Structure 1
């Protein structure tokens, strides 16, 4: 990316960068790698149609950063959606095996399905010659992602293993006020943006995973920093503040009486 990018948009009043395709006020050209990063891992992302229109979506940026990344817009994966996925499905069928040791789809384990931590999954690959993996991810709200996984499971379960990163449903998710990598409130601990989740997986799957993860995380951090500059400072509502003072008076009164 260079500093001479043009900005135009014939449909809206906002000026759009023709390079990163983001509004000029949130242009990421200084952070996105000049050339897409090459990976041995091939990535397929199913993006919910609603997420496609979300201004904080990270998948369009991820596609600018990675060479071997393709996005499918829809609510489920099935035969005919992707030549790559169809070939993986057919290969598993021809070998009379339920799953390929190289293909995984990323989603936390929820009833009735269970997921394998991605480190454990990679370690379980017996064939030392396997150095090319296929990672499938889902992009949408937590509710939409669960629906997409459930709808796609009959197809994916025939050739892919469900994997996850470390998570904890008992812990509150990060917020945009408490993390320099969070653009939206996450539902529970371990949840993150699609771009960050892919970055964490590539650290494990790629020979130069640490370097790739670092480059992608730097872009996310820039996105969050730019977005934070538009956030208005939050103040406690007067009614809540008044209630807190009343509670404090009651506590002091009780202390005095005792």
Structure 2
């Protein structure tokens, strides 16, 4: 899942930019050299549910994730329901990744408490933090019939990082522990797969290279004039009260 963020400004793209036919990324940030060949096999089947807005986002990790994992697929939808994916039509043993919340009707297990099983389905939601909450809320009546909600560690009391202080984050995260969809799936597969640490290492390696390439075209976001003015006014008030 991709948390809600303030976008980093990208360098202007040239008209008619060249796109790699294999990884579907601009040729100047092509990732073909980093993708695992052949794609990594897993006993777990992975379904990424992308919000329509995220499906158009340049920094989404879902396309790279589905090219890296043999049994990963993606659907674009705002909620899950029967008929949206063949993976879910038989009500298989399923886990869906999303942090716990007081409003959730379903209990949430930490991923480390799950016992791996054959032919498990893992669902991850790829969206901004706000959209992901809406997608999970809209899907839970359906998922509660056969799926278990699981989470990775998230601490909402701490601010998230950004690409400027972490090698694995493409966009600013709202809370400590929030990660990209690709990293979340990698961390889950570490627990669920017999060779999980190796799978995690390979996926994180692809993500690290993606961030390294993209970082060359990112510019620091300049503070908004209104915010600068407010900060200046606040400083003047504090000085006057001293």
Q: Smaller-chain TM-score range?
A: 0.7 to 0.9
C-alpha root-mean-square deviation of aligned residues, in Å? Answer: 2.3
1:50 paired with 2:41, answer no
More deviation in 209-218 or 224-233? 224-233
Unmatched 5+ residue regions in structure 2?
A: 1-14
The residue aligned with 2:12 is: none
1:117 paired with 2:110, answer yes
User: Greater share of helix residues, 1 or 2?
Assistant: 1
Q: Evaluate the alpha carbon distance shift between residue 233 and residue 186 of structure 1 in structure 2; reply closer, same or farther with a 3 A threshold.
A: closer
Q: How far, CA to CA, are the matches of 1:133 and 1:34 in structure 2?
A: 23
Give the C-alpha shift of residue 233 in structure 1. Answer: 5.0
Of 218, 224, 229 in structure 2, the residue corresponding to residue 231 of structure 1 is 218
Alignment of 1:129-140 (within 5 A): 130-140=117-127
Q: Relative CO higher for 1 or 2, CA cutoff 8 Å, sep ≥ 6?
A: 2
Q: How far, CA to CA, are the matches of 2:181 and 2:200 in structure 1?
A: 13
Q: How far, CA to CA, are the matches of 1:121 and 1:218 in structure 2?
A: 25
Give the C-alpha shift of residue 237 in structure 1. Answer: 8.6
1:191 paired with 2:178, answer yes
Other structure's SS at 1:14 match: coil
Give the C-alpha shift of residue 223 in structure 1. Answer: 1.0
Q: Evaluate the alpha carbon distance shift between residue 186 and residue 233 of structure 1 in structure 2; reply closer, same or farther with a 3 A threshold.
A: closer
Of 156, 175, 179 in structure 2, the residue corresponding to residue 169 of structure 1 is 156
Give the C-alpha shift of residue 191 in structure 1. Answer: 0.8
Post-superposition Cα deviations, 1:94-124, rounded to whole Å, max 9, x if no partner, equal: xxxxxxxx421000001222411011122xx
Other structure's SS at 1:85 match: coil
Other structure's SS at 1:22 match: coil
Unmatched 5+ residue regions in structure 1?
A: 1-11, 90-101
Other structure's SS at 2:88 match: helix
Post-superposition Cα deviations, 1:112-142, rounded to whole Å, max 9, x if no partner, equal: 22411011122xx7xxxx3332101100000
Other structure's SS at 2:219 match: coil
Q: Evaluate the alpha carbon distance shift between residue 236 and residue 51 of structure 1 in structure 2; reply closer, same or farther with a 3 A threshold.
A: closer
Q: How far, CA to CA, are the matches of 1:198 and 1:230 in structure 2?
A: 26
Structure 1 stretches of 4+ moved >3 Å? 233-240
Q: Evaluate the alpha carbon distance shift between residue 229 and residue 111 of structure 1 in structure 2; reply closer, same or farther with a 3 A threshold.
A: same
Greater gyration radius: 1
1:80 paired with 2:83, answer yes
Other structure's SS at 1:86 match: coil
Asked if structure 1 preserves the Cα contact closer than 8 Å seen for 2:87 and 2:121, the reply is no
Q: How far, CA to CA, are the matches of 1:151 and 1:217 in structure 2?
A: 30
Q: Evaluate the alpha carbon distance shift between residue 235 and residue 147 of structure 1 in structure 2; reply closer, same or farther with a 3 A threshold.
A: closer
